[in-house]
Amino acid sequence: MAFPYKTILCPVDFEENSLVALDRAVELANHFASKVLLVHALPIVITIGEIPPPAAMYEDQEKAARAKLEDISKAKLSGIEHESLLFVGDIITCILDAQKKYQPDLVVIATHGRTGFVRVFLGSVAEAIVRKATCPVLTIREEPRA
């Protein structure tokens, strides 16, 4: 872990709040002349006894995700050293694997800020990353709507 941050990992799920977190990561990257690792985890959800979908379906999803990552990179990361990474599997595991493999100095991740039953029912990716990451994690909470 180094300060100033030389490498910033930012997971995105293509929702608006994760793109806001990416904007904050870009601000930090500009300030510290950091590299941004843009990470997307493509979830595979298969329940026990379920027949896995055809491989072609995952190939199409991967192509679409890579295209979205490329669009985001062009729109938000021009002029910044960056790398787009796609992982397939459990979202939390994918983000932690990326953090372990690339050893960023900081993870910037969006959070919905859910509490109570909703958080218990839906879980929290950001909370799991904060608890399990081996580097500092900056959570960016969704702005309240007017």
pLDDT in tens, 105-121: 999 999 876 555 444 44
DSSP output for 27-69: HHHHHHT-EEEEEEEE-----TTPPPPPHHHHHHHHHHHHHHH
Report d(CA 135, CA 15) in Å as an integer.
24
Q: What is the pLDDT of residues 35-73, one digit of tens each?
A: 999 999 998 766 666 666 666 677 889 999 999 999 999
Rounded Cα distance between 12 and 94, Å, is 12
Instruction: Indicate the angle between helix axes 55-76 and 16-32, nearest 10 degrees.
Output: 50
Rounded Cα distance, 35 and 48, in Å = 40
Q: Is the pTM of this model over 0.75?
A: yes
Domains along the chain? 7-141 (3.40.50.620)
- Give the per-residue pLDDT at 67: 97
pLDDT of residue 59: 86
